[in-house]
Amino acid sequence: MSALIDEFKKDHSEIIDTLKEIKELGVLSEEGQAKLISAKESLLEHLRKEDELLYPVLKKEAEHNEKLNYYTTLTNKEILLITQQFQAQLMDLKISNLKKLQ
Q: Which of 57, 55, 61 is nearest to 76 (CA)?
A: 55
pLDDT-derived band at 9 (thresholds 50, 70, 90) equals very high
Query: Residue 69's domain spans which residues?
Result: 2-101
Q: Which of 53, 60, 40, 45 is nearest to 5 (CA)?
A: 53
Give dist(CA 17, CA 9) in Å, integer: 12
Positive/negative CA dihedral, 21, 43, 59, 73? positive
Q: pTM of the predicted model, to two decimals?
A: 0.67
Number of domains in the chain: 1
For 20-69, write each residue's pLDDT tens digit: 999 999 988 999 888 988 888 888 899 899 989 998 999 999 999 999 99
Give dist(CA 65, CA 70) in Å, integer: 9
